[in-house]
Amino acid sequence: MHALSHGTTSTPTTIAVPPALSLPVIEAAFPRQLHPYWPRLQQATRAWLLEKRLMPADKVAEYADGLCYTDLMAGYYTGAPDDVLQAIADYSAWFFVWDDRHDRDIVHGRPAAWLRLKDRLHRALDSPGDHLDHEDPVVAGLADSVERLYAFLSGGWNDRFARHFHEVIEAYDREFHNRTEGIVPTVEEYLELRRLTFAHWIWTDLLEPSAGSELPDGIRKHPAYRKAALLSQEFAAWYNDLCSLPKEIAGNEVHNLGISLIAHEGLTLEEAITEVRRRVEECISEFQDAERDALHFADTLDDGTVGGKETSAAVRACVGNMRNWFSSVYWFHHESGRYRVESWDDRSTPPYVDNETAGES
């Protein structure tokens, strides 16, 4: 079907969404938002990718804007201060580059290079200031982006972010092992691992500097807040799986909800697509209920004091951005060149990666 994308250009464009991937409820009930800083964000992140040598200059010139990495973040953290959004967008762009490096290390059989990178990333996360000039651009890029993120809130938030990202790095290591050995995780194993490789709690942590407020544990872990946060992330991860399932089956991938359903539940490809789509749609429906509960919870925090009013407003801002994640992720998958495999010369090799030299520095 065709849908109007109120996206990242001054003139809305008509985007063709394949019927199997169209979600009318997103298009109707989750209007798209975009941070007003977006045009400058795109320019600055493009420059940052060049400065940090995370993509070759020719790749940045040809592909960076079309990959829509900044669009994804500008559609999510819509109320963030400009400098916070810039740091998040650069970190997100770094994350995609790192994901590609991980993939190339697997494809080209470079376990030693991956283990070396994994160790360096752990160290850079704990002491970013010591790794800003690291010889490996992926290490230096992480150090630069997280050092900026660490400047916005307290040391406690920094420690939490680091703890969550250490877990993501280790999850990428488990994915490396599974893909190298051809191990398809069970559905439950996959769902647990996916929450880490998709970095559910990282993107949720970043709601707080976007709202300008660090939330106490009692609020972040409150069932109403946590359920809405989890559902927004589950939608994104599973919708990504739905969009990429045929490509990943063709590429002998092992990490996709649909592939786990086929391998361990005996579903056909068509049945797996139907089941993943059912879960995606259920996520949307459950989020709408959880959103109401989370907003009610936010209302209860306003006890008439200045602090209560500010905390209530911060929670409402975070929940509002959880909602934004649905439309931002949805349109990203249909606008970004990252998913247009039918236009690639070699479906196994993304044209925006530096395939010959990745991981060799």
Of the candidates 32, 46, 95, 160, the residue annotated as catalytic is 95
What does DSSP assign to residue 35? -
Helix, strand, coil shares, percent, the chain, to 5: 70, 0, 25
Residue 95 among the catalytic residues = yes
CA dihedral 26, 27, 28, 31 (to 10 degrees): 90
CB atoms under 10 Å from CB of 36, counted, come to: 10
Residue 165 among the catalytic residues = no
| DSSP per position, 125-186 | HH-GGGSTT-SSHHHHHHHHHHHHHTTSS-HHHHHHHHHHHHHHHHHHHHHHHHHHHT----
What does DSSP assign to residue 216? P
Of the candidates 198, 297, 326, 332, the residue annotated as catalytic is 198
What does DSSP assign to residue 112? H
Where does residue 344 fall: left (phi above 0), alpha (psi -120 to 50 degrees), or beta otherwise? Answer: beta
CA torsion sign for 269, 270, 273, 275 is negative
| DSSP per position, 280-306 | HHHHHHHHHHHHHHHHHHHHHH--SSH
**Is the Cβ–Cβ distance between 141 and 87 less than 8 Å?**
no
- Report which residue type is found at 102: H
Residue 96 among the catalytic residues = yes
Hey, is 14 helix, strand or coil? strand
CA–centroid distance for 124 within its chain:
20
Chain length of the chain:
361
Unique residue bearing structure tokens 């247009």: 340
CA–centroid distance for 203 within its chain:
7
What are the angstrom distances between the C-alpha of 139 and each of 126, 128, 164, 258?
12, 9, 17, 32
Residues annotated as catalytic are 95-96, 198, 338
